[in-house]
Amino acid sequence: MSASYLSIRDEISSRADALQRLTFPRCRLCPRRCGANRASGHRGDCMVADELPVSVGLLHFGEEPPISGSRGSGTIFFYGCPLGCVFCQNHQISRPVSTAPVLRHSMSVEELADLMLELQDKGAHNISWVTPTHVLHHAVRALGIAAEKGLEIAIVYNSGGYEELGALKLLDGLVDIYMPDVKWLTRENSMFCSGVPNYPFTVKRALEEMWRQVGPFVMNANGIGVRGLLVRHLVLPGGLSDTGMVLDLLEPYIRKGAAVSLMSQYYPPREGLAAPLNRHLTAEEYEPYLERLLDMDPEVAFIQELESQYSYRPDFDSDGVFHDV
Ligand code: SF4
């Protein structure tokens, strides 16, 4: 969010009002358009009614280097998710895939604004909203309050790429860095992994809009991201992530300066997942795509050692501190 927005906080409030209208009387804030009457307390497919559930907010050092930097990314994990992948890699904080308890704390918009300011005071390079899609009306309202009180660091929008175009357009000028996933591009894999048929169409449209708003990924002299598009893709076992098609889609963006993160860290989050989600990725399934990406000569790219998949187990201690153990 640029400093100029401090003078147009009424504009932010009107954007929040417009987003709120997308939730009423039947919610269509995300591409599921499930129609839940959230104001009456009904939970939608995202598992959230009209509350603002935050799983945790902290300085996070495990993101890509231009996002975490040396002082951490002020990361706010929202509970719930419109997509609901069966293998959610963040299920402890997003939505339950087992009987394990999920962290959540319902906040007011004022409390969320204060949390963002607190993270800024602790030195965060940015505020990163993780999976904000289904609570966007509240998050933007909180942003207006925080801006009025002096929030001035970059806003990072970190999501699964499953975004309603009308909602995204209302973020124009408020988000500095978009960090969406592109998860898969076939209806078949989308249904198998998340039960939604329209992800491929939706994510392509969302990418176009995000690119229109922020363009190439730009870093400051210290290597900290200040603006632009950074796309993530998690390679899944058994070809479930359509990685060849995803790289075809991303190539024009990469050649124009979008950053990309090709991840190999998939792990089966629970027992009983259907094959091939019940196993890790192999080198044969990752390395050809890595070579293909490097052939595109990206300006900014992040890759992972395959071994990282065996060490990535996000977990929280009793204080809500995030560990990559
Ligand atoms: S945001 Fe939630 S309630 Fe609204 S349409 Fe999406 S899944 Fe349904």
Question: What is d(CA 249, CA 245) in angstroms, rounded to the nearest whole number?
Answer: 6
Task: Check whether 115 has a pLDDT greater than 90.
Answer: yes
Residue 179 backbone dihedrals phi, psi, to 5 degrees: -130, 70
> Terminal CA-to-CA distance of the chain, rounded, Å?
32
Which atom of ligand 1 is least distant from the CA of 34?
8
The residue whose CA is least distant from atom 3 of ligand 1 is: 44
Which atom of ligand 1 is least distant from the CA of 22?
4
Mean pLDDT of 210-233: 97
The residue whose CA is least distant from atom 5 of ligand 1 is: 33
Residue 158 is given by DSSP the state E
Q: How far is CA 46 from CA 83, 128, 270, in A?
A: 7, 20, 20
Residues with Cβ within 8 Å of residue 234, at least 6 apart in sequence: 89, 181, 183, 241, 263, 265, 266
**45 in contact with ligand 1, CB cutoff 6 A:** yes
Task: Check whether 313 has a pLDDT greater than 50.
Answer: no
Mean pLDDT of 237-250: 98
Neighbours of 113 (CB within 10 A): 22
Q: Which residue has the tokens 């204080």?
A: 319
Burial pattern 152-165, b for ≥16 Cβ within 10 A else e, equals: ebbbbbbbbbbbbe
Mean pLDDT of 239-266: 97
Helical segments of 151-282, H only: 165-169, 187-194, 199-214, 243-255
Residue 105 pLDDT: 84
Record the tokens describing residue 161, joined without a space. 């790429």
Which atom of ligand 1 is least distant from the CA of 36?
3
Mean pLDDT of 255-283: 93
Question: What is d(CA 282, CA 240) in angstroms, rounded to the nearest whole number?
Answer: 13
**44 in contact with ligand 1, CB cutoff 6 A:** yes
Mean pLDDT of 124-149: 97
**27 in contact with ligand 1, CB cutoff 6 A:** yes
Are the C-beta atoms of residues 35 and 28 closer than 8 Å to each other? yes
Q: Which tens digits make up the pLDDT trace of 175-191?
A: 999 999 999 999 999 99
Which atom of ligand 1 is least distant from the CA of 80?
2
Question: What is d(CA 261, CA 41) in angstroms, rounded to the nearest whole number?
Answer: 38
* Average pLDDT in the chain: 90
Which atom of ligand 1 is least distant from the CA of 44?
3
pLDDT higher at 206 or 94 = 206
pLDDT higher at 130 or 319 = 130
**33 in contact with ligand 1, CB cutoff 6 A:** yes
- Letter for the amino acid at 151? L
Distance (Å) from CA 51 to ligand 1 centroid: 12
**46 in contact with ligand 1, CB cutoff 6 A:** yes
Which atom of ligand 1 is least distant from the CA of 133?
1
Which atom of ligand 1 is least distant from the CA of 134?
1
Residue 6 pLDDT: 47
* 3-class DSSP assignment, residue 206: helix
Distance (Å) from CA 23 to ligand 1 centroid: 8
Residues with Cβ within 8 Å of residue 54, at least 6 apart in sequence: 76, 77, 78, 79, 104, 105, 106, 107, 112, 115
pLDDT-derived band at 311 (thresholds 50, 70, 90) equals very low
| Mutation to probe ligand 1, out of 20, 28, 34, 133 (largest number of atoms < 8 A from CB) | 34
pLDDT-derived band at 7 (thresholds 50, 70, 90) equals low
pLDDT higher at 259 or 314 = 259
Question: What is d(CA 265, CA 9) in angstroms, rounded to the nearest whole number?
Answer: 40
The residue whose CA is least distant from atom 4 of ligand 1 is: 27
Range in 74-83, 110-119, 267-276 with the lowest mean pLDDT: 267-276
pLDDT-derived band at 314 (thresholds 50, 70, 90) equals very low
Residue 320 pLDDT: 34
* 3-class DSSP assignment, residue 303: strand
Residue 62 pLDDT: 92
pLDDT-derived band at 307 (thresholds 50, 70, 90) equals low
The CATH fold assigned to 3-313 is TIM Barrel (3.20.20)
pLDDT-derived band at 312 (thresholds 50, 70, 90) equals very low
Distance (Å) from CA 78 to ligand 1 centroid: 14
Mean pLDDT of 132-153: 96
**29 in contact with ligand 1, CB cutoff 6 A:** yes
Residue 97 pLDDT: 46
